[in-house]
């Protein structure tokens, strides 16, 4: 059985579906602070928090978990700067609660949802695993603290882990069951598509004077299905003993798309249905690097991971079908 923390959220819910389809039994623990019951349609949902150590002890006592996947975290950069205590408490302290219970119950396989924010301002691109980790906000710092704790837990307690550093997760379940529904929404692709569906008046481009071909920021977008596939491969590697200690992998497609490229591709997609996207101009946002692109060769070579949905039109098509579903409900 696999315990999925945060399995009612965007990434976690897609992961649970993949695990169930692969024949795993899954228990989901989510406090529903940002997750949704409707997304937790696969697996068994327990509503609870990692701060509740008594609950964790009961779950581990009553279930024979083979591994734990941890997706639950506060993840808004701006909020982390304004309220760092929330981030260190939830992302670090609560994760340590989980790790300690795992150690007490001899569960030694852990997959951690980390982030490219642990690297901070890029010193070079594409960013590989050897890139210095110098986070510039409490969100990135909190994730890096857990990565470092995992190294020590591996040495001291034999807890084997894989930390997967995401770049820009995007897209939706190709079957239309699941997708992004953050509140508030901060990700570029759903924001653009909300402007197309009418749930938002416009999309704002923050800066057109970056040192890129069209002047807008470039990001590495990775389809949610490919992201989850990497987690499944990491699970196999841990359980088989192929990977041990505290391993870490960057996850991205290895090539980026600019904000303008994403907008143009989205305009082409929704134009087929007679829709348009109103674009407004804004000033640069502090701390936005011009280019963030992953070097994911290690994940490909060591885990055998190959992204299946790396092209922008497919990513947008799946996300657009999900957005139209949400628009009908609103």
Residue 77 has a pLDDT of 86
Is 139 among the catalytic positions?
yes
Homologous superfamily (CATH) for 2-170+221-251: NAD(P)-binding Rossmann-like Domain (3.40.50.720)
Buried b (16+ CB within 10 A) or exposed e, 241-275: eebeebbbbbbbbbebbbbbbbbebbeebbeeeeb
131-150: average pLDDT: 96
Q: 10, 139, 153, 221: which is the annotated catalytic residue?
A: 139
Residue 82 has a pLDDT of 93
Residues 295-318: tens digit of each pLDDT: 999 999 999 999 999 999 999 999
Residues 167-192: tens digit of each pLDDT: 999 999 999 999 998 778 889 999 99
Q: Can you state the percent helix, strand and coil of the chain, rounding each to 5?
A: 40, 20, 40
Q: What is the pTM of this model?
A: 0.95
């Amino acid at each position: 059985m696999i315990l999925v923390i945060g399995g009612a959220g965007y990434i976690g819910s897609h992961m649970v579906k993949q695990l169930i389809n692969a024949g795993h039994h899954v228990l989901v623990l989510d406090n529903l602070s940002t997750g949704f019951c409707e997304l937790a349609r696969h697996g068994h949902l327990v509503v609870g928090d990692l701060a509740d150590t008594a609950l964790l002890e009961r779950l581990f006592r009553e279930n024979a978990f083979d591994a734990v996947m941890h997706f639950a975290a506060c993840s808004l950069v701006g909020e982390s700067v304004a309220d760092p205590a929330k981030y260190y408490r939830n992302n670090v302290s609560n994760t340590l609660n989980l790790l300690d219970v795992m150690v007490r119950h001899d569960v030694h396989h852990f997959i951690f949802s980390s982030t490219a924010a642990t690297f901070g301002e890029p010193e070079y691109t594409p960013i590989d695993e050897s890139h210095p980790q110098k986070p510039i906000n409490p969100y990135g710092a909190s994730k890096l603290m857990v990565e470092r704790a995992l190294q020590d837990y591996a040495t001291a307690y034999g807890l084997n882990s894989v930390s997967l550093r995401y770049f820009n997760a995007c897209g939706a379940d190709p079957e239309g069951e699941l997708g992004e529904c953050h509140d508030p929404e901060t990700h570029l692709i759903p924001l653009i598509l909300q402007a197309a569906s009418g749930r938002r008046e416009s999309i704002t481009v923050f800066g057109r004077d970056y040192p890129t071909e069209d002047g807008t920021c470039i990001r590495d977008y990775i389809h949610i299905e490919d992201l989850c596939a990497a987690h499944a491969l990491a699970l196999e590697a841990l359980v088989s003993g192929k990977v041990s200690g505290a391993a870490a992998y960057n996850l991205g497609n290895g090539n980026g798309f600019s904000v303008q490229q994403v907008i143009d591709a989205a305009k082409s997609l929704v134009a087929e249905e007679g829709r348009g996207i109103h674009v407004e101009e804004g000033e640069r946002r502090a701390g936005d690097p011009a280019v963030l692109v992953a070097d994911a060769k290690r994940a490909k070579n060591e885990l055998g991971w190959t992204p299946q949905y790396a092209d922008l039109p497919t990513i947008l098509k799946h996300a657009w079908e999900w957005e139209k579903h949400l628009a009908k409900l609103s």
